[in-house]
Amino acid sequence: MHFRSPNDKTKKLLTGLAGLLYCGAVFADDVSGSDSLLCYGLSAARCEIGEACEAVAPWQLNLPDFVKLDLRGKRIQTTAGSAEQRETPLQTVQRSNGKILIQGVQGERAFSWVISEMSGEGTLSVAGHGQGVTVFTVCTPVDKL
């Protein structure tokens, strides 16, 4: 059996894919004690009653690429560079056992977000009538940018 050596396009594609996969680990950071975070959605899944869950890119769910979490002010907002300026209040923000626990409501949807203070990695879950979305996130302190 003979394998062809990869051409330049293949090498660039593989390098780019490896960079994208590694990106989350590089971006996530220790967020202990930080009250202002910048977060990015890495991947998502959408589920509806009676249908199989499907993996989707966060942008396909009309989620902004980046959001700023103001834990002290209890709000999530899009960044200044976002195409749409949005802001959502947070009902609860709590720190417990190395985790940041966030809950809120927007319209007819409820959401919960758990972020590890040590790694900045998080899981955001949004529930509506008959449907749910889970987004895996990475966050970094704004003051370390």
Examine residue 55 and state whether it is found in any structural domain, yes or no.
Answer: yes
Strand residues in the chain grouped as ranges (E): 36-48, 54-56, 66-70, 75-78, 87-89, 92-96, 99-106, 109-116, 121-128, 131-141
**Is 87 within a domain?**
yes
Give the domain CATH number at 106: 2.40.128
Question: Three-state SS for 84?
Answer: coil
How many domains, the chain? 1
In a domain, residue 18? The reply is no
pLDDT grade for 27, boundaries at 50, 70 and 90: low
**Residue 133 within a domain:** yes
pLDDT at 115 over 50: yes
For 140, the domain range is 28-144
Residue 144's pLDDT is 84
Mean pLDDT computed over 53-81: 95
Instruction: Tell me, yes or no, whether 62 lies in a domain.
Output: yes
Q: Say how far apart CA 117 and CA 120 lie, in whole Å.
A: 5
pLDDT band at 100 (very low <50, low <70, confident <90, very high): very high
> Is residue 79, in this structure, part of any structural domain at all?
yes
CA distance 41 to 64: 8
> Rounded to whole angstroms, what are the CA distances from 20 to 13, 14, 16, 59, 116?
11, 10, 6, 16, 21
Mean pLDDT value of segment 101-125: 97
Q: Is 21 inside a domain boundary? A: no
Q: Is residue 116 part of a domain?
A: yes
Residue 3 has pLDDT above 60, yes or no: no
The model's confidence at residue 145, banded by pLDDT at 50, 70 and 90, is confident
